[in-house]
Amino acid sequence: MKLIAMVLGKVISMIRSHGTIMLVLSRATQHLLALKVLSDGWEGTLCLTADCLQELLLLKEAVWTFNGQVVTRRHEGGAVDPGTLQAAKAAVMFSDQPLHNLFVSDASDSSAYIYKADGTFEFIREFIFDADEAKFSSGLRELLAVKFALSSDRRYFEQFKGQLVFWQTDSQNCASFLVKGSRKPYIQAVVRQIKILENSLNIVIVPVWTPREHERIVVADFGSKFSLNSDEWSANRTVLAGLLQELNFEPQVDCFASQHNAICPVFFSRTADSRAAGRNFFVQPLYPGIRYFCCPPVSMIIPCFRKLMAHSHLSFILLVPDWPSAAYWPVLFPVDHEYRFTTVRKFATNFFYANLGSSKVFSDKPNFSMLAIVVSGS
């Protein structure tokens, strides 16, 4: 055991030159040795497990991969130029500017959402957790987000060969796992898989923890919860096509949509979407001569209607449930005022969800009708 302790001491001493991968890939052996010493003292032998051997063999490869890097102070992580590392981490932590080699992730109870924060949203991935994964701790789910992204998009991450890849997370546990590993075997197994992926891709993941209030984390958090969002209902497409044809209204912009349920090639999304013309309908400029389709969540009907009516000569169709007792009803149909709607048409439809959300109200066979409010600007 003393021989193993000596080897581990030499491995840990190389953190300054080779980085925290030396710590991560010796974690299983460290933990096993500590348990053995506590129970039996320093005398005796220690039989390494398959996990220990796998990590140490991978570590043997990593020693040569990271050899020859700049020697840094230990708290700076090692294996990279200290000035570059600290400046890059500060850019992640204290700004919301686009960065070429930054990925942001967040994991909810049901799914993980990852995007590249370079301002283009060209890389967006969502992974749905299975029943067992959904029961894991939040830190482990955040760790799985990293693993899923690297393993499912290997070709994409190959462009960062020989580079640092920064990973922003609001999970301190996840950031710690990526730097130090974990004494829990099932978590360490995931960390090991990530390190194997890093090694095969010739990249180094640098985790950066920031509070969940950071703007990039807010975007990722919303995306991770999107899969079960009960606001993502849509009217039956066959019924909708017949209605639009009957009303002689061909929309050009879908104002509340995603690439999974948009009825127009041009649409505004609620969360980051690489194919969207813009994010957040309420900050988008609206123009006469363009026909807008609006089917907002019930909670957004009033602000949506007011934004539409604030623009003169605007052409739009607004779909709302036929609920006279709803809070939005007196706003749309005030007793003492008459809006100049071109058409108000009641129609029956069923609904579907483009995500995993559901609602008893918007069930497949609802007990209410919908209204189509049409305004044709001139």
Cα 122 to the center of its chain, rounded Å: 13
pLDDT exceeds 90 at position 207: yes
pLDDT at 356 over 60: no
Please indicate whether residue 126 or residue 242 has the higher confidence score (pLDDT): 242
Which tokens go with 92? 């992640």
117 and 195 in a common domain:
yes
Q: Are residues 197 and 281 in the same domain?
A: no
Which residues pair with residue 302 across a beta bridge?
none
CA 52 to chain centre: 32
CA gyration radius, the chain: 27
Strands, E assignment, the chain: 102-107, 111-116, 124-128, 164-169, 204-209, 233-235, 253-257, 266-269, 278-279, 291-294, 315-321, 343-347, 351-353, 370-375
Say if residue 280 is in the same domain as residue 336.
Answer: yes
pLDDT of amino acid 87 = 82
Q: Provide φ and ψ at 36, rounded to 5°.
A: -65, -40
pTM over 0.75: no
> Angle at CA 67, nearest 5°, toward 70 and 196?
115
Look up residue 92 and give its amino acid. V
Could you give the CA distance from residue 119 to residue 160 in angstroms, rounded to a whole number?
A: 17
CB 174 within 8 A of CB 143: yes
Last residue of a domain, one of 228, 257, 278: 228
Residue indicated by tokens 């933990």: 31
* Domain harbouring 347, CATH code: 3.40.50
d(CA 364, CA 109): 25
Return mean pLDDT, the chain: 84
Residue 246 has pLDDT above 90, yes or no: yes
Number of domains, the chain:
3
150 and 239 both lie in a single domain:
no
Same domain as 215, residue 238: no
Quick one: what percent of the chain has pLDDT higher than 90? 35
Question: pLDDT tens across 93-103, in order?
Answer: 998 888 889 99
Q: Which of 208, 228, 248 marks a domain boundary?
A: 228
Tell me, yes or no, whether 358 and 242 share the same domain.
yes
Whether residue 221 is found in the same domain as residue 84: yes
The reply to whether 53 and 132 lie within a common domain is: no
Q: What does the pLDDT look like over 108-132, one tens digit per residue?
A: 888 888 889 887 777 888 888 888 8
Find where tokens 């609620």 sit. 270
Closest by Cα among 205, 185, 187 to 133: 187
CB 372 within 8 A of CB 349: no
Q: How far apart are the C-alpha atoms of 268 and 281, rounded to whole Å?
A: 6
- Domain that includes residue 46, residue range: 1-72
One domain, residues 347 and 243: yes
> In this structure, are 241 and 360 located in the same domain?
yes
pLDDT for 75 equals: 46
Are residues 329 and 362 located together in one domain of the fold?
A: yes
Distance CA 353, CA 340 (A): 32
Are the beta carbons of 26 and 19 closer than 8 angstroms?
A: no
The answer on 242 and 131 residing in a single domain is no
